[in-house]
Amino acid sequence: MIYQSDALTVTRLEGDIAELHFDLQGESVNKFDQNTVTHLTAALDAIEAEQGLQGLLVTSGKPVFIVGADITEFTGLFGAGADEIKGFTGLNNANFNRLQNLPYPSVVAINGFALGGGFEICLACDFRVMSTVAKVGLPETKLGILPGWGGTVRLPRIIGVDEAVMWIATAGEKRPDAALKAGAVDAVAAPEQLREVALTTLNNAIAGQLDYAARRAQKSSPLPLNDTEAMMTFFTIKQMVAQQAGRNYPAPVKVVDVIEQARGMDLEGALEVEAAGFAELAVTPVAAALVGVFLSDQLLGKKARGWEKQADKKVEQAAVLGAGIMGGGIAYQSAYKGVPIKMKDINQAGLDLGLREANKLLSKQVDRGRMTPSKMGEVLSSIDPTLTYGGFDNVDIVVEAVVENPKVKHAVLAETEKQIGPDTVLASNTSTISIDFLAEALERPENFCGMHFFNPVHAMPLVEVIRGEKTSDTAVARTVAYANKMGKKAVVVKDCPGFLVNRVLFPYFDGFSKLVRDGADFQAVDKVMERWGWPMGPAYLMDVVGIDTGVHAAEVMAEGFPDRMKLDFKTATEVMFENQRLGQKNGIGFYEYIADKRGKPKKTAVESTYELIAPVAGERTEFSDEDIVARMMLPMATELARCLEEGIVETPAEADLALLYGLGFPPFRGGVFRWMDTVGLEFIAAASEKFAHLGKSYELTDGMKAKLADGTTYY
């Protein structure tokens, strides 16, 4: 044994080869936390001191290789300032440079995910052999930063500028075939042959059959581009990356800047440029927000797995009631993820619609090469369309997805309960109706909860699991386990009108209605909120949700929270509804929708909208972008704060992610609570005071006032 620690070991193999073996004790994966970085420095000291070595093999003792840096350490680091950040990148850069400059060749055996720093250490090695089940990539731009341990320097010099920029800017994970084709790895081997192929490659390099010195010279030299080539290359790439990334995500464009600045430099100079770019991005609010989203997602996953461990049984057979677009989507997602499902409706036309929906989604997977036709047939055959309750006594969970009508749901739930086993979980996909109210129809309310999917089911990650007053832990656990199995992000919330997401969405819509009432142009409001980061503005969003659905939900919310959500004027949305303008579902709402060449509805503004809403819209008034944002966001922020204070949702992280995954809240802002922390509660309080005349939904909550008084934040 040449070196041993709880993070890695170095042993001497036959043929005077040293093996650097990463195996972080007490963790399921290898990662570059500060402990591992320190131990790598010590290991390299030992390797350099060992006499007679002729080659180095780098391996992992985990199912994955190395997943990158320890993101949990980023929060404190990024808040410490640029100098400390450069120190952080400098330590491991020194390690990787030493590894690259050893007086003999090195080969890495990539047995699983090698991401971020895990791939950067691979790039520092002379040769890379990749398992057929592995993936490699540099995903740092997803966190609002760029690679900090040589990724922007070595990768362009290995695979070329264009390819490297696409790899880094898009933060994608590359499969072995793509990595081999690009030249990022030198060989691909089956898992059981990986070590043998890596050792053979290393021995060939030791024997002089592979020129590792030329590899090192390539990674340490300027990019082989003259001034004219560089100007054309970087101008084109920068334009393309900027267009794809959008104005709110600076990291991808910074990647291009860093590579361009360092194109004529040697390794050391280029690494300094990269370190400066990393530090510059790391102190931005975008990086703080995106790192926060990553860590919150880890928390959400941990809580979901905790619930799943409490489940009394696995969900091996499911059922859905109602076979429309929503029911068909639920059936598709369940079957696609390996849980057979019965799809019941009261008529054959409904079943046909549900099957068409599932077939359409599966056909897209086949067309895109993500699924074979035989696999599609297998998935479709696991959806059992039925007009009866036959076999329902053997299902583990039933999701009710019938029309959003309390009387209908009561009747269906009561009828279904009589057809299922005594321990089967019954869940309602209601979007607004109280779970406690629906439970009144049941004899076993402890087995009942809400399971609110978002439309379209296959695309929207969030599932709200709503706990009623009598819902048992067992019912919640099994429902969360089913959501996990379906590949969804489950957030457990308590019952209240609108639950969490819709409860905070409708005050946002109310803000929009008040702006139109006061003379704002609905198109202008949409454009401002889209520039702020929302995927669509409020008028467009209402069209997509469905005007009829929106009006119904608004009535439920007004009844549940009359002091804040009962409006004393007719809204533009209600005018749309009265004129049978229901949005995308019937081709016209605030906007008109005509299918484009691909069959997708294209939004077009029409003068008739202004004519219809004229009686309820004030004299046209120009509002500043800042005022529009404040008037839209304050009601959402105060309502979300109320939900946290009332215990509807347990943590700011879960609340923020629910809006990211359920509504498309802009990730670069990190969520509503993260946004309030970023701008400061003093800013929020000033806006609240300015717009206090608009009603109670603009007032700070008691909890917000307390935080303002003692200077604390949500995170």
Active site residues: 452
Nearest to 115 by CA among 134, 101, 100, 96: 134
Crossing angle of helices 373-381/325-336, nearest 10°?
Answer: 110
Q: Which regions of 552-613 does DSSP assign to beta strands (E)?
A: 591-595, 601-605
Which H/E stretch holds residue 288? Answer: helix 285-310
DSSP state of 142: G
Q: CA–CA separation, 695 vs 517, rounded Å? A: 14
Q: Which class for 340: exposed (0-12), middle (13-18), buried (19 or more C-beta within 10 A)?
A: middle
Could you give the strand order of the β-sheet that contains 3-4, starting from the edge strand earlier in sequence?
Answer: 3-4, 8-13, 17-22, 55-60, 106-110, 127-131, 187-189
Tally Cβ neighbours within 10 Å of residue 310.
Answer: 13
Q: CA–CA separation, 426 vs 446, rounded Å? A: 10
Q: Which regions of 132-186 does DSSP assign to beta strands (E)?
A: 136-137, 173-174
Q: Please, which residues bridge with residue 493 across strands?
A: 466
Q: CA–CA separation, 128 vs 58, rounded Å? A: 10
Are 267 and 219 in contact by the 8 Å Cβ rule? The answer is yes
Q: Please, which residues bridge with residue 467 across strands?
A: 494
Q: CA–CA separation, 655 vs 214, rounded Å? A: 53
Residues 6 or more apart from 426 whose CB is under 8 A from it? Answer: 397, 398, 400, 413, 416, 417, 420, 442, 444, 447, 448
| Block residue for tokens 């047939």 | 377
User: What are the phi and psi torsion angles at 221 (to 5°)?
Assistant: -105, 165
Q: CA–CA separation, 539 vs 132, rounded Å? A: 48
Residues 6 or more apart from 21 whose CB is under 8 A from it? Answer: 8, 9, 10, 11, 59, 60, 61
Residues 6 or more apart from 28 whose CB is under 8 A from it? Answer: 62
**Token reading at 96:** 């990787």
Residue 441 Cα distances to 199, 416, 435, 478, 494, angstroms: 68, 11, 11, 21, 19
**Token reading at 384:** 């059992």
Are 116 and 147 in contact by the 8 Å Cβ rule? The answer is yes
The region, left, alpha or beta by phi > 0 then psi within -120 to 50, assigned to residue 695 is left
Nearest to 495 by CA among 445, 458, 563: 445
Q: CA–CA separation, 59 vs 156, rounded Å? A: 24
| Block residue for tokens 């990553």 | 294
DSSP 158-172: HH-HHHHHHHHHHT-
